[in-house]
Amino acid sequence: MTSPAARNQRRSAALFLAPFLLLFVATTIAPLAYATWLSLFSERSSGLGFGGTERLFVGLGNYTKALGDSTFRGGFVTIVAYIAVYVPIMIGAALVISLLLDSGLAVARRFFQMALFLPHAVPGLIASLIWLYLYTPSLSPVVAWLGDSHGEANIASSSPLLSVVNIAAWQWIGYNVVIFYAALQAVPREVLEAARVDGASRVQQAFRIKTPLIMPAVIMATLFTIIGSVQLFTEPKILAPVSTTITNAWTPNLFAQDAAFSQNDYGLAAAASILIAVAAASMSFLVMRIASRRSAS
């Protein structure tokens, strides 16, 4: 028999979890279910094109079509290259900056914390206008200076990957600095004091004591960064008008958007979205397995 106290505890837990579960179902499970259902159908014009469209069940046909498209597969190659460049830069820079802020050498910590976090707080529309201005050859003073120094310069066309990495790093480094700095505040000061007594330098304390102790926060940030990288969309979409190398299928998300709103092929777009979700889940699982093995060893 379950005691009244245990029943009350379960009711309280269910009551507190209910809002989250409702939002999770409404914003995650339901859209995934609808996208999965939509991906199994394809709309085709009936007759000679003068009539309406009819929805046909195609099963896995849209998935086969997406995977058979070289531009869609090429988008994942771009994502892999982006992750290889962006994740080490963003996580490494955020970790070093947070360690500097946590050290006794840092001055004006509050100011730098706010200054580093401000790019993340800038509305997306304003950030888009700023970066579009900075990357437009006929408007940007930076591009004009590079052109005067190194000939004709169109950074978004000549180095699209680095241009996208630059925008993403500008926005997200400060966010991760806040996460790492908060984790550093929980490091036991007696551990650092013992290391200082044993003769450990500031650099040794930072990378041999502090960094291992906040590794769960680093792994979490890395995991979220990889998930966000697989869904890369905003940054290349910003640069597309001023870049000749960023196409409508430069990333898988751009491919899905083009399929839905340019080709009106919602079944293909839904299938591509499901494949993107599977890729993100697979990479997340891989990161967690690697992290768990390292922590176990």
H, E, C per residue of 216-247: HHHHHHHHHHHHHHHCCCHHHHHHHHHCCCCC
Query: 156 is written with which tokens?
Result: 């978004």
Using CA atoms, how far apart are residues 130 and 108, in angstroms rounded to an integer? 27
- The closest of 171, 204, 169 to 92, measured between CA atoms, is 169
d(CA 184, CA 180): 6
H helix runs in the chain, sequence order:
4-24, 30-38, 61-67, 70-102, 109-121, 124-135, 141-150, 155-158, 160-184, 189-197, 202-204, 211-213, 215-230, 234-239, 252-261, 266-296
Q: State what percent of residues in the chain have pLDDT above 70.
A: 90
* Gap between the Cα atoms of 175 and 12, Å rounded: 33
| DSSP alpha helix (H) spans, 44-69 | 61-67
Global pTM reads 0.84
CA proximity to 99, closest of 224, 218, 263: 218
| Polymer length of the chain | 297
pLDDT digits (tens, 9 = 90+) for 76-129: 999 999 999 999 999 999 999 999 888 766 666 677 777 777 887 777 778 878
The rounded distance, in Å, linking the Cα atoms of 71 and 247 is: 10
pLDDT per position as a tens digit, 218-265 = 998 998 899 889 989 988 988 888 888 888 889 999 999 999 998 889
- What is the CATH number that goes with domain 55-296? 1.10.3720.10
- The per-residue pLDDT for range 148-189, each reduced to its tens digit, is 555 556 777 788 899 899 989 988 998 999 999 999 988 888
* Residue 115, pLDDT score: 76
Distance of CA 132 to the CA centre of its chain: 20
* Cβ density class 154-178: b for 16+ within 10 Å, e for less: bbbbeebbebbbbbbbbbbbbbbbb
